[in-house]
Amino acid sequence: MAATTVPEKSSRRHAGRPVGQPDGTQHRSGLSRKVRSNIQAYGFLIGAIVCFGFFSWYPMVREFIMSFQRTKRGVTTWVGFDNLKQVYHDPYFWTAWRNTLQFTVYALIIGFIVPFFVAILLNELRHAQAYLRILVYLPVMLPPVAGVLLFKYFYNPEYGLFNHILKTLHLPTSQWLDSSHTAMISVVIAATWMSMGSATLIYLAALQNIPGELYEAADLDGAGLFSKIWHVTIPQTRMVLSLMLLLQIVATMQEFTNVYLLTGGNGPENSTTTVVYMVYQYAFRYNNFGSAAALGLFLLLVLAGFSGLYSRLSRNSD
Amino acid sequence: MSRIGYRRLVAVALVAGIGLASAACSSDDKKDDPGTKSSSSSSSAGTPLDPKTKVSITVDCEPPTTKKAERQQWIDDVAEFNKTYPNVTINSKDAFPCEDPAKFTAQLQGSSQADTFYTYMTDLQQVLDAGQAEDISAYVNDKTVPNLKDIDPNVLNVLKDGGKLYGLPTSNYEMGLIYNRKIFADAGLDPNKPPTTWDEVRQDAKVIQDKLGSKGIHGFIENAGGNQGGWHFTSELYGLGGTMVDDSGKKATFNDDNAKTLLTTLHDMRWTDNSMPATPGKEWGDVQKAMGTGQVGMYVGAPDDIPLVVQQYKADYKNLGMAPIPGGKTSLFGGNDYMFKKGSSPDQIKAGIAWINFKFLTPGKGQFNYTRNKTDGLPVGLPEPFFFTGASKDKDNQLKAASATIPVDNFKTYVDTQVPVKPEPPNAQKIYTVLDTVMSGVLTNKGADIDKLLSTAESQVNSLLAASQ
């Protein structure tokens, strides 16, 4: 690989023709040598590129094109920004964004913090850590639909487990999924329970990489539990935390499965209509793939904004 | 990887991207050319299929293997059909339910539906928009479908657009009130006198709740999600004589006194009488399950729910009854049909029509072979399909009565009361989505402001209708 490095750098400086290579023959033979030497790597790459191209990039290109098209009577026409305008003026456009942001915020408060503290707790345990790790991870192994059905039963206002517990404790019961006030938080609780195992294990791995000397030094300085978490644990796991934060924002803003299965999508008085559920409705209920693609484009732009922000923040912090 | 390599990779990806985009556009170009594969201009379109014709068609909605009797009947019917048309190959595609709306939409986009494909009657505009329906007007006449003159013109009209026919019906229904006769009797109500107005529905639901609520039985259940809430609201408003949109289809008309009365009644049943469960139906199947498992006394539905609640939830036919839609002014009607894939050859269309005629449109044959249904333990006597008129209707009723296996008297008031039928509004699914919010507001919020819910829904539907023009 070292032999190829010099001409590459030269080629950058001299706009395409490497120093010492006055004609294309030598250049081509250099290239061919390079291809030959990397042939195995290219071979391994082909499968991934074909898969990504066919299942990710092509649909993305297609989605972008479709967001400017409309099909009526089998005839597809270019409609400029009409689809974008239509979804923007949809009566539920802002409702869906508000709900999506609400889900994301709740999911961050509950789904981001809880697994982190569970990981800290597991890390501090000296006994039965392996068993508890399995227990925490078990819900992830449960098929999502089975988990959702379980929570549907737990949340039933008449015979569900949660209201039964509340009644036993002489506390007021809740309508859970059947009230616009509690539907979204109920979905977040179920979603967090089903997915927190993976996040917990990732945090746990990061925690176990923190050198014990740092805590000892903190002890000598007289730091308490929260002081140690704030000044040692969080800074030492900052990279993992920020990566998980971004992944969680991207994942939660695409929430569909849990709201679709738990509340039927819209929920009481549209309290759980998310942007992705609205995309689904446009495509598969209204047969309007142009507007579905346009709404998807809005979401893509927002998520790209978050990713850009993350990239900028992580560069600055480096 | 070297930087030059990155540039080359990006260039390759770019070229590939452009290529893919071109491919995407070119596939559209093909789609943009409607009718190139159309075969409806065949000069002999109006003649029945020649029995010697060799042709192969795919047909969906074959009953699944879990429905053993229906599956075997389908197989037997194909064999019987092949005695007349030995060279027609019917490739059956099983599915249950016959149409999953999301899957169906995807199939239309990919043009991967069967040659002769099952649809709901309300799907016509969707299929036309996807450019996937063949005009069969030239193929359908009294030679190819001998009982055509006896098919209710209102039913056929639902399958027409711009005067062109795109499908043939296989079943139809009108909405009514399904009720549990045993629960009525247990609550001290007369099972032979089901409620006919919303006041009576509320009254009977309260009696059931008061008498049987301690056993977990509720008087009434209603839908509030999955577009089922909007669909039920529409049905119930039709029953009171209301309308959803004006004649132009551009303006919502449902925000009226009828709607307010209806929603107030439902709200009071849920929150004052507590005669409805705390969890309303959220998707198709929820209310049917509640009825099938004996948890509710009544709900608004169609007669094709009855075999479902019996077969899936083991309810007993003798305990189920049906009454006309409360109010009885008009009743929403719907049903199922088969359409023909765009681009099918004339022989494929003729073969599809011949099969549908044999299986679904001939008294005494196929689905109307009541003697066989009785032998196979399938219900005979349900008040559907009812699209026949004239001589075909008389013959069908006669055959049905001779083989009835379910207590037909349980459906007598539903059958005898001639409620004028009314189709679903244009852009029905979009309207139903908005009205789900109204229904869920009433059924999940004790302090629901009905006037506000209706006026918000009205302006939202008006916006949607304006955008759909």
Residue closest to B85 by CA, chosen among B354, B373, B449: B354
Strands (E), chain A: 69-72, 75-78
Q: Which long-range contacts (CB under 8 A, 24 or more apart) does A63-68 make?
A: A63/A293, A63/A296, A63/A297, A64/A293, A64/A297, A65/B21, A65/B24, A65/B25, A66/A289, A66/A290, A66/A293, A67/A290, A67/A293, A67/A294, A67/A296, A67/A297, A68/A290
Chain A interface includes B76 (CB < 8 A): no
Chain A interface includes B311 (CB < 8 A): no
Contact A287 B5 (CB under 8 A): no
> ipTM score here?
0.76
Residue closest to B462 by CA, chosen among B247, B251, B242, B254: B251
Chain A hits for B126, CB-CB cut-off 8 Å, are 287
Chain A hits for B430, CB-CB cut-off 8 Å, are 286
Contact B226 A265 (CB under 8 A): yes
pLDDT at B16: 41
d(CA B404, CA B414): 17
Chain A interface includes B10 (CB < 8 A): no
Question: B94 — phi, psi (to 5°)?
Answer: -90, 155
Q: How many CB atoms lie within 10 A of CB B379?
A: 15
pLDDT at A264: 87
State the pairing for strand pair B331-340/B167-174: antiparallel
Shortest CA distance from A64: residue in chain B = B21
State the pairing for strand pair B296-301/B218-220: parallel
d(CA B23, CA B241): 52
Chain A hits for B437, CB-CB cut-off 8 Å, are 266, 269-270
Shortest CA distance from B224: residue in chain A = A268
Contact A285 B101 (CB under 8 A): yes
Contact B105 A283 (CB under 8 A): yes
Measured in angstroms, the CA of B429 and the nearest CA of chain A are apart by: 7
Q: Assign domain B55-174+334-410 to a CATH class.
A: alpha beta
* pLDDT tens digit sequence for B404-459: 999 888 998 898 888 999 989 988 888 998 999 999 999 999 999 999 999 999 99
- Assess contact for A259 and A270: CB atoms under 8 A: no
Measured in angstroms, the CA of B436 and the nearest CA of chain A are apart by: 8
Sequential pLDDT tens for chain A (318 residues): 333 333 333 333 333 344 444 455 566 667 778 778 888 888 889 999 999 999 999 999 999 999 999 988 888 999 999 999 989 988 889 999 999 999 999 998 888 888 888 998 888 887 888 888 888 899 989 888 899 999 999 999 888 999 999 999 999 999 999 999 999 999 999 998 998 898 898 989 999 889 988 988 998 988 888 898 889 988 988 888 888 888 888 889 999 999 999 998 889 989 999 999 999 989 988 888 999 999 999 999 999 988 888 777 777 655
Chain A hits for B13, CB-CB cut-off 8 Å, are 49, 53, 57
Q: Which of B2-11, B21-30, B116-125 has the highest mean pLDDT?
A: B116-125
d(CA B154, CA B141): 17
Q: What are the C-alpha distances in Å from A286 to residues A24, A53, B102?
A: 57, 28, 10
d(CA A289, CA A260): 19
Chain B hits for A265, CB-CB cut-off 8 Å, are 225-226
pLDDT at B457: 93
Q: Where in chain A is the domain with CATH 1.10.3720.10?
A: 85-317
pLDDT at B54: 95
Take residue A242 and report the two structure tokens written for it. Answer: 């920020």
Which 342-371 residues of chain B touch chain A by CB within 8 A?
Answer: 342
Residue B261 has pLDDT above 70, yes or no: yes
Interface test with A, best of B100, B104, B444 (most A CBs within 10 A): B444
Contact A5 B2 (CB under 8 A): yes
Chain A interface includes B467 (CB < 8 A): yes
Buried b (16+ CB within 10 A) or exposed e, B406-420: beeebbebbbeeebe
DSSP string, B62-107: EPPTTSHHHHHHHHHHHHHHHHH-TTEEEEEEE-SSS--HHHHHHH
Contact A286 B430 (CB under 8 A): yes
Chain A interface includes B234 (CB < 8 A): no
Nearest to B225 among A38, A71, A266 (CB): A266
Contact B17 A61 (CB under 8 A): yes
DSSP string, B219-260: EE--B-STTHHHHHHHHHHHHTT--SB-TTSSSB---SHHHH
pLDDT at B162: 93
Nearest to A61 among B24, B108, B460 (CB): B24
Q: Tokens 């005695």, residue?
A: B83
Higher per-residue confidence, B172 vs A311: B172
Query: Domain coordinates of chain B in residue numbers?
Result: 55-174+334-410, 176-330+419-468
pLDDT at A34: 79
d(CA B387, CA B61): 20
Shortest CA distance from A75: residue in chain B = B32
Chain B hits for A90, CB-CB cut-off 8 Å, are 463-464, 467
Of 3.30.70.270, 3.40.50.300, 3.40.190.10, 3.40.50.620, which CATH number belongs to B176-330+419-468?
A: 3.40.190.10
Those residues with Cβ within 8 angstroms of residue A30's Cβ, 6 or more apart along the chain or in another chain: A4, A7, A18, A21
pLDDT at A318: 56
Shortest CA distance from B103: residue in chain A = A284
| pTM of the complete model beyond 0.90 | no
Instruction: Compute the average pLDDT of residues B61-86.
Output: 95
The domain made up of A85-317 has a fold known as: MetI-like fold (1.10.3720)
Task: Decide if B55-174+334-410 and B176-330+419-468 have a common fold.
Answer: yes
Instruction: Compute the average pLDDT of residues B202-221.
Output: 96
Q: Name which of B74-78, B300-304, B343-347, B396-400 the model is least confident about.
A: B396-400
Q: What is the CA radius of gyration of chain A?
A: 26
Q: Tokens 């925490």, residue?
A: A136
Percent of chain B beyond pLDDT 70?
Answer: 90
